[in-house]
Structure 1
Amino acid sequence: MTVSPAARRKARHYAMQALYQWSMTSAAINVIEAEFHTDNDMSKVDIAYFREILHGVPQRLTELDEAYKVYLKEREQSELDPITQALLRMSTYELVARIDVPYKVVINEAVSLAKKFGATDSHKFINGVLDKVAAKYRAVEVKASR
């Protein structure tokens, strides 16, 4: 079954919000997931993708944080606002674990969500960090597109 780009986009949208909620409340992932299913119309969402990101990021948190932390320039990870952190974690997860998703799609989706939810100009910072993560984890794909 092919999933529409719109359903995947909605999955990322909700996954970012759920990861934000998880980082702010430390509530159990299963509880947050249940709340999202109760509080949102999930009929046009790629539920499997939403669930994979929501569960995959916390399971691989240390690995993901380490993967992008080296590209934060002078910033400390603790200085990142929760939206930026959620987007970097989610997108790094996609770049590392979902090689079936083109890296440009991952970065474009993160930038789009940052423009909608993030601080002013956070999308530029996120784009810069994810470009470097993609260059490391998707070197062949990045090189082929240039």
Structure 2
Amino acid sequence: MQDATPSKRPPRQQRKGLTSTGVRKAASKSARSRSREFALQALYQYVVGGNDVASIDQFTRELIGFHKCDAAHYDALVHGCIEQQADLDALIAPKLDRNLGELSPIEHICMWIGAYELLHALDVPWRVVMNEAIELAKEFGGTDGHKYVNGVLDALAPALRTAEVQADLAAKNKTDHKVDNTAD
């Protein structure tokens, strides 16, 4: 027999900019975020479907909402990841605890996008690159795939953006040190 008393738990608060499932709402996404999503979809067709780049590109550009993305960034990601896939895999593979072929296609593509941006999109801060790749994995990948993407890109970032990562860590340590001194 079940207890008839109602639950005392307060209702969940809606997080702004997210759907009820935790996915970012389309209206809150930047043009660059949208370009990453379209690039992920195009690269998925390339990796899983084996489709040629020209037909993938034409199909993707006709999708609803493509006009809201940063088309130049989309082009750079899709063509860059395809052209440099061997180099990107060479960066990623040593950070894995399994063979590249055992990765889910979504995780693999998220890592490609993240590694490509760390190498070539120097106008995008490394923490933004990491966050965007993780968000793609959360939205399109498996349950915990984003954690794996995070771990691999977190291992790559110091090697690919050495000065930027070190400057951020130094600033964080300086802030942490100030907080520790005020606690005494």
TM-score by length of 1: 0.93
Aligned AA (1:43) = H
Relative contact order, higher structure (CA 8 A, sep 6+): 1
Alignment counterpart, residue 35 of structure 1, candidates 59, 64, 85: 59
Distance 2:94 2:83 in 1: 20
Q: 1:105 aligns with which of 128, 136, 139?
A: 128
Answering whether residue 77 of structure 2 is matched by residue 68 of structure 1, we say: no
Asked if the contact 2:38/2:66 (under 8 Å) is kept, the reply is no
Deviations 1:19-53 (A, max 9, x none): 11110111111110100112232221100100111
Structure 2 gaps, min length 5:
1-28, 170-184
Question: SS where residue 65 of structure 2 aligns?
Answer: coil
The reply on whether 1:8 has 2:24 as its aligned counterpart is no
- Show structure 1 runs of 5+ residues with no match: none
- Report the AA paired with residue 46 of structure 1: D
The DSSP-based 3-state class of the residue aligned with 1:133 is helix
- Whether 1:89 and 2:112 are equivalent positions in the alignment is yes
Choose which of 161, 164, 180 in structure 2 pairs with 1:138. 161
Of the two, which has the highest radius of gyration? 2
Cα contact 2:40–2:110 (8 A) shared by 1: yes
Q: How many pairs align?
A: 141
CA distance in 1: counterparts of 2:46 and 2:53, whole angstroms: 7
Distance in 2 (alpha carbons) for counterparts of 1:38 and 1:112: 24
Kindly provide the amino acid, as one letter, of the partner of residue 30 in structure 1: A
1:125 to 120, 140, 148: 148
The structure whose residues are more often helix, as a share, is 1
Q: Could you state the TM-score of these two structures normalised by the residue count of structure 2?
A: 0.74
Deviating above 6 A after TM superposition, structure 1's stretches of 4 or more consecutive aligned residues are none
Over aligned residues, Cα RMSD in angstroms? Answer: 1.0
